[in-house]
A and B are shown apart, each in its own frame.
Chain A
Amino acid sequence: MIVAKQKPLSELTAMLDGYRNVLAVGCGTCVTVCFAGGVKEVGILASALRMARRLDGQPMSVAETTVQRQCEAEYIAPLAEGLDEFDAILSLGCGVGVQTLAERFPDKRVLPALDTTFMGLPTEQGVWEERCQGCGHCVLDITGGICPVSRCAKQLMNGPCGGSQGGMCEVDSDTPCAWQLIWERLDRQGLADRLLEIQPPRDWSTSRDGGPRRIVRDDLRLPPPEDV
């Protein structure tokens, strides 16, 4: 899932300075599951903003709604009705949700309430860890299902480095060394000898180095209207 966290209230009140009527929009998918932008979090943040602004002597109305999926135009289209009465939209979606709203409603100020942080999973209740950076060329088949791109601070493809200390990363003593984990996993599977094969330098053009990425599936696209 995409994991995000709410921005500090002070940052949001500064961002919303001058607005008097705001629509807070949550998202029912990833940010609901990571407790950052679902129905309940929208309610808590909206209540906090209303109280903070009232105490500042600048009351602000914050209406609340949550769409099932903020990152697809079809799901946010119903928001168009009644949007005129709001000065701004405060999105509790991930960065994709914020931009989907901004693209769908270009005349409206759309502001982010969350800091989108990473793609990851909950390792225990209340704890989330990064597992994927969307590098565009998955190597989990080589590394025993443990991602060196997202979990190794140096993104090494032939690790570990000399900073691996007792199975932990030198960057943070609470972070396991990804390459230690990879070695242990492959050893457990009887495949440790595969690590003797040196991996060539990665082609990072599939990742952020190639600029914004785009996937086109011709089999899924709608036919041109003149052909219908």
Chain B
Amino acid sequence: MTAAETPFEPKIVAFCCRHCAYAAADLAGTSRLAYPPSLNIVELPCTGRVDVLELLRTFEDGVDGLLVAGCLPGRCHYLAGNLHARQRVDYAQRWLEDIGLEGERLRMINLSAAMGAQFAELATEMAETIKSLGPSPLGTRRAAGEIPTTGCAACGDPAPLLAESAHDRGDGR
């Protein structure tokens, strides 16, 4: 099979709260429930940690889809972190649509730690949605060598921060 014939496997990042969705993903695994292998799970202390800036930069880095998975409404260990996350996801979706990306590439789901089957089901559903949308048009940035020439020559970052930043400290972003 040539590269052109390789089926599109969407690259999806899932920001998962450690108290619910992360444990649910773990439960799905120990229960032998399959979910897309291209799902990259990032454990968070709470989805309230998610910021619009991180959501956008994840898309800028070329991800095809992004899942934010928090606790059920009313069950957040920090009271309202999942509700704040929902507001930020809604806000980031409007940004994506203004930018020209489909808002469906970003989705928030709410789960409890016992909902392993639902996690697998929703992750599969997300992967199917992204497959129907196709790869992110931003995903080929680095592969196509289209990094702007004004970026950092050392790391290829197209937008090195001038102020004190991770870039200046040399540990990347």
Contact B150 A21 (CB under 8 A): yes
User: Looking at the complex, which one of A23, A43, A44, A60 makes contact with B162 (CB distance below 8 Å)?
Assistant: A23
Distance between Cα atoms of A11 and B141 in the complex (Å): 25
Q: Which of A47-55, A91-99, A108-116, A217-225 contacts B (4 or more CB under 8 A)?
A: A47-55
B101 / chain A contacts, CB cutoff of 8 Å: 51, 55
User: Looking at the complex, which one of A52, A60, A66 makes contact with B100 (CB distance below 8 Å)?
Assistant: A52
Asked whether A55 and B53 contact (CB < 8 A) given A10-B98, A50-B158, A65-B163, the answer is: no
Query: In this complex, what residue of A is CB-closest to B58?
Result: A47
A130 / chain B contacts, CB cutoff of 8 Å: none
User: Looking at the complex, which one of A43, A52, A56, A61 makes contact with B53 (CB distance below 8 Å)?
Assistant: A43
A46 at interface, CB cutoff 8 A: yes
Most interface-central of B95, B161, B163 (chain A CB within 10 A): B163
A8 at interface, CB cutoff 8 A: yes
B146 at interface, CB cutoff 8 A: yes
Chain B proximity of A1: nearest CB distance (Å): 22
Asked whether A48 and B159 contact (CB < 8 A) given A40-B53, A55-B137, A55-B138, the answer is: no
Contact A65 B161 (CB under 8 A): yes
B137 / chain A contacts, CB cutoff of 8 Å: 54-55
B51 at interface, CB cutoff 8 A: yes
B151 / chain A contacts, CB cutoff of 8 Å: 61
User: Looking at the complex, which one of B98, B146, B163 makes contact with A48 (CB distance below 8 Å)?
Assistant: B98
Contact B98 A52 (CB under 8 A): yes
A54 / chain B contacts, CB cutoff of 8 Å: 137-138, 141, 146
B41-57 CB contact bits vs A (8 Å, 1 = yes)?
Answer: 00000000001110011
Query: In this complex, what residue of A is CB-closest to B165?
Result: A64
Contact B98 A63 (CB under 8 A): no
Chain B proximity of A108: nearest CB distance (Å): 15
B162 / chain A contacts, CB cutoff of 8 Å: 23, 63-65, 82
Contact A52 B99 (CB under 8 A): yes
Distance between Cα atoms of A214 and B141 in the complex (Å): 51
A105-140 CB contact bits vs B (8 Å, 1 = yes)?
Answer: 000000000000000000000000000000000000
Contact B163 A47 (CB under 8 A): no
B141 / chain A contacts, CB cutoff of 8 Å: 54
Contact B56 A51 (CB under 8 A): yes
Distance between Cα atoms of A117 and B57 in the complex (Å): 28
Chain B proximity of A90: nearest CB distance (Å): 12
User: Looking at the complex, which one of B53, B100, B146, B160 makes contact with A47 (CB distance below 8 Å)?
Assistant: B53
A15-59 CB contact bits vs B (8 Å, 1 = yes)?
Answer: 000001101000000000000000110011011101110111001
Contact B99 A51 (CB under 8 A): yes
CB within 8 Å of A: which residues of B?
51-53, 56-57, 59-60, 95, 98-101, 137-138, 141, 146, 148, 150-151, 158-163
A-B contact pairs, 16 of them (CB 8 A): A9-B99, A39-B163, A44-B53, A44-B56, A47-B53, A48-B95, A50-B158, A51-B60, A52-B98, A52-B100, A54-B137, A54-B138, A61-B148, A63-B161, A64-B162, A65-B162
- Given A40-B53, A65-B162, A66-B163, 4 additional A-B pairs, CB 8 A: A54-B137, A54-B141, A63-B161, A82-B162
